[in-house]
Structure 1
Amino acid sequence: MTNKFKIINDPVHGFISIPHEILFDVIEHAYFQRLRRISQTGLLNLIFPGATHTRFHHALGAMHLMFTALETLKMKGVAISKEEEKSAMLAILLHDIGHGPFSHALENMLMDDWHHEKLSLLLMNKMNGEFGGELSMGMEMFQGKYHRKFFNQLISSQLDVDRLDYLKRDSFYSGVSEGNINTQRIISMMNVSNDELVIDAKGIYSIENFLTARMFMYWQVYYHKTSALAEHLLVKILDRAKKLVSLGKDLPASENLKYFLYKNDFERATEEDIRRFTELDDNDVIQAMKFWTKNEDFILSYLCKCVIQRNFPKTMISSKSFDEAFIQEKVEKTNEKFGIENGNKLVDEISRSLLPYNSEKQPIYLLLKNGTKITLENSENQILSSSITQLNTKYILSFPREI
């Protein structure tokens, strides 16, 4: 008999235990093992060399934080059954199972607008059949259909264990200390009121620190101008490849990647779609880009060389959109430099927007000592919450270094 109550040594959280056998079985499943080959932060390691961690690392970390959160709530008198505990841990363990190569970057490129959460649910359904319905309650929690709302809030909200893990983990691996939040302190402040997740009022500054840490991580790491550009280049490469294939060009690629380059109709995912998708990972895309650096199509080969050789285009960042005449000037110089007519395909304006705290959608509630709830931004003790509710947008212009 296999000992399924393993202990995993995680560099971020220390020892992670597996308290239910089904968790071990899910981790061993081929769908979950694929996450070892899916980068947690796309091409971020080209900017922050240490950021080589995977979705596999993150899923285990989020599962551990879910267990810690549930133990905290139980200590505060919240009734949570073994079945609910197991299901919540399964739900967070599988919340990213539907991520494709390079995580968010290629999300809409391979299967049209199939968001990773839609694919995650699809794969959970298939796994649920294999495990005799043991994932049913976890799937309800994942979808927000379970009658106790706080379980879904722990999985997906403005203060969930998913965010708690990725901020601390991405901060650790990238070396950017601004994201190093105190997860234990935040979790120790969690509570439940009327089956909704709340934070004990005395934890307000830990929550404000969490919200600002996330904001700084986005602008300094995820939305770093070169990081945003690298992600954009991946999308352009796949888009260009699909266009060439539709024109009858034969591009060398793995069988599974070729399948998605040629297929365009994903109204309903077939068994073949799912099988191919679950065999696809970062390696397929990297291998293809290496092949395509030598492709006769100038645009495709140029874009692939930018990524594979880490020879990124020049970038400029602004809080306002760039002037059309200025962009056109860059296009004309590109056409002249390379002797092409479609220089606009090498000149791009990218935008990134962030709302640090959405006080309208799923606000964070504080639980006062008298048992009443107030929203975070309405607390008389808040310092930052009311001033981080504005949407902020940055514009990035990229163009060939050669011009």
Structure 2
Amino acid sequence: MNKLKILNDPIYGFITIPNSLIFDLIQHKYFQRLRRITQMGMSYLVYPGAHHTRFHHAIGCVHLMQQVVNVLRFKGVTISEEEENALYVAILLHDIGHGPFSHAMEHSIVNNVSHEEISLFFMERLNKEFNGTLTLSIKIFKGEYHRNFLCQLISGQLDMDRADYLKRDSFYTGVAEGNINSERLITMLNVIDGELVVEEKGIYSVEKFIVARRLMYWQVYLHKTGLAAEQLLIRVLKRAKELHDMGRKLYASEPLMYFLDNKISIDNFGDKTLEVFSRLDDYDIISAMKHWQKDEDFVLSNLSEMIINRNLLSIKVKKKKIKPENLKRHIENLVEEYGITEEEAKYFVFKGSISNQAYQLNHKQINILYKSGKIVDIVKASDQLNLKALSKPVTKYYICFPKENLRLSH
């Protein structure tokens, strides 16, 4: 069977699968599940085109990684065939642990188990299936390999994950500000003393990359409507778990029911849980919410209906912290109007904060290599005054509450 297939990607054109191991991993049911996980969670409620999946993104990352390997070898950096294949596997599987709608599960029906940790569980399980061929990939993924630049390509401030998702997400949302020149960035990469650097000529591409990241966060990833929708989804799952724990019978697919039935944390995330998780995707959640819209529980039915019919909460984003009395007023109004408890009202009225830091100083920084051989952090090397500002985190505060005309029934 020909395993060196060609895939057609709307962003890069034709992508080749580099070897049969990558082909077999792509064919595996764990990876095929990513076709059913939206890359951008609830963002399609704001940007109708944002229906691309984690599958698209992972394949795109492998394509960019192939370009990196070619560029670095051309510049005399030694990368063995084993290291090359390990890079492809690590970047292919870096997001395999994402749950439905990407981030909502981490904050609702599993107790603080991050997608990175679940990705690692999947990789270790696949390593057994593939007779230890993923051992080096796992080492690189965990950042434990002695050649640090390989780890930086998987997880750093200029890694192939970011290089793909910024370009891909800006394409599918139509937000042109996020469109970066990943090919130019890759062509400018080099390695000095085992660390990744960008050659001086690439300085403007790096500046554009950092600015694009900041704009995409404010305009897309932290868009207030998308944020309200994601918070609703988290609360739908929390409410379902709460009702289930109280003995209420709820409709849910078998994999979703497993997570409602069990208290899952990092300590008991074993093989059985991983197997069930591998069958859980966006469709389980959408299907459940379609049923839950008609549930007798006031909170669950209304939250589900809000998402299914895009009748979302109002959200106000401010620079200053939300005053407790503002929250209290909205909660009291709901309690009075619908005869619900204060606890139930808190599902519809809540506050939170969002933070955006486009570049982190002193953390896996992006270094610029001058012709003289001098290496300088991008913030110092850049003649753009705003890069220094972009390395400071900006925090905004939000409050969500029902729209005035919301006709909730009880």
**TM-score greater than 0.5 by the shorter chain:** yes
In the alignment, the residues of structure 2 paired with residue 360 and residue 51 of structure 1 have an alpha-carbon distance, to the nearest angstrom, of 33
- Please identify runs of 4+ aligned residues in structure 1 that moved more than 6 A: none
Partner Cα separation in structure 1 for residue 151 and residue 268 of structure 2:
26
2:201 aligned with 1:197: no
Q: Secondary structure at the match of 2:404?
A: coil
> Partner of 1:354 in structure 2?
356
Query: What residue in structure 2 maps to residue 70 of structure 1?
Result: 69
The aligned amino acid for 1:160 is D
- Is the 2:109–2:238 contact (alpha carbons within 8 Å) kept by the matching residues of 1? no
| Partner Cα separation in structure 2 for residue 330 and residue 17 of structure 1 | 55
Partner of residue 377 from structure 1, selected from 372, 376, 379: 379
Matches within 5 A, 1:273-284: 273-284=273-284
- For the 8 Å contact 1:39–1:103, the answer to whether it is kept is yes
Tell me, yes or no, if the aligned pair for 2:7 and 2:14 is still in contact at 8 Å.
yes
Instruction: Report the 3-state secondary structure (helix = DSSP H, G, I; strand = E; otherwise coil) of the residue aligned with 2:111.
Output: coil
Percent identity, aligned pairs only?
Answer: 48
Query: Relative to structure 1, is the Cα distance of residues 216 and 198 closer, same or farther in structure 2, using a 3 angstrom cutoff?
Result: same
Does 2:314 align with 1:314? yes
Distance 1:154 1:271 in 2: 29
Determine the C-alpha separation between the residues in 2 that align with 1:110 and 1:120.
17
Aligned match of 1:164: 163
| 1:265 shift after superposition | 4.3
Tell me the secondary structure at the aligned position of residue 34 of structure 2. Answer: helix
Instruction: After TM superposition, list the pairs within 5 Å mapping 1:219-368 onto structure 2.
Output: 219-266=218-265, 267-342=267-342, 343-368=345-370
Aligned 8 A contact 1:355 1:389 in 2: yes
Give 1:275 shift. Answer: 1.0
- Whichever residue aligns with residue 136 of structure 1, its letter is T
Kept in 1: contact 2:6–2:15 (CA 8 A): yes
Q: Which stretch of the first structure deviates more once superposed, 77-86 or 107-116?
A: 107-116
Tell me the secondary structure at the aligned position of residue 399 of structure 2.
Answer: strand
TM-score (ref. length: structure 2): 0.96
In the other structure, the counterpart of 2:408 is none
Match of 2:148 in 1: 149
**Contact 1:347-1:400 within 8 A present in 2 as well:** yes
Q: CA deviation at 1:271?
A: 2.1
Contact kept? 2:108, 2:235, Cα under 8 Å: no
The structure-2 alpha-carbon separation of the partners of 1:358 and 1:380, relative to structure 1 and needing over 3 Å to count, comes to closer
**Corresponding residue number in structure 2 for 1:207:** 206
Equivalent position SS for 2:215: helix
What whole-Å deviation, never above 9, does each CA across 1:97-118 have from its counterpart, x for those lacking one? 1111111122243331211111
How far off its partner does 1:306 sit?
0.7
Q: Paired residue for 2:401?
A: 399
1:268 partner amino acid: N
CA deviation after TM superposition for structure 1 residue 382, in Å: 4.3
Does structure 2 conserve the Cα–Cα contact (< 8 Å) formed by 1:42 and 1:103? yes
Name the count of aligned residue pairs. Answer: 402
CA distance in 1, matches of 2:107, 2:141: 21
Equivalent residue number for residue 47 of structure 1: 46
Using the TM superposition, name which of 284-293 and 365-374 deviates more: 365-374
Tell me, in whole angstroms, the C-alpha distance in 2 between the residues paired with 1:227 and 1:250.
30
Deviations, residues 58-113 of structure 1 (Å, cap 9, x unaligned): 00001101111111111111011111111101100000111111111222433312
CA deviation after TM superposition for structure 1 residue 384, in Å: 2.9
SS at match of 1:16: strand
Q: Structure 1 counterpart of 2:271, which letter?
A: E
One-letter amino acid matched to 2:378: L
Letter in 2 for 1:227: G
1:329 CA drift (Å): 1.1
Deviations 1:336-386 (A, max 9, x none): 222222222210112111111111211111111122211111126344321
1:19-34 matched pairs, under 5 angstroms: 19-34=18-33
Give yes or no for contact 1:257–1:280 (8 Å, CA) kept in 2.
Answer: yes
Answer whether contact 1:205 1:382 (CA < 8 A) is retained: no
| Gaps in structure 2 of 5+ consecutive residues | 406-410
Shift of 1:313: 1.1
SS in 2 for 1:164: helix
CA displacement at 1:272 relative to structure 2:
1.5
* Structure 1 letter corresponding to 2:350: D
Secondary structure of the structure 2 residue equivalent to 1:286: helix
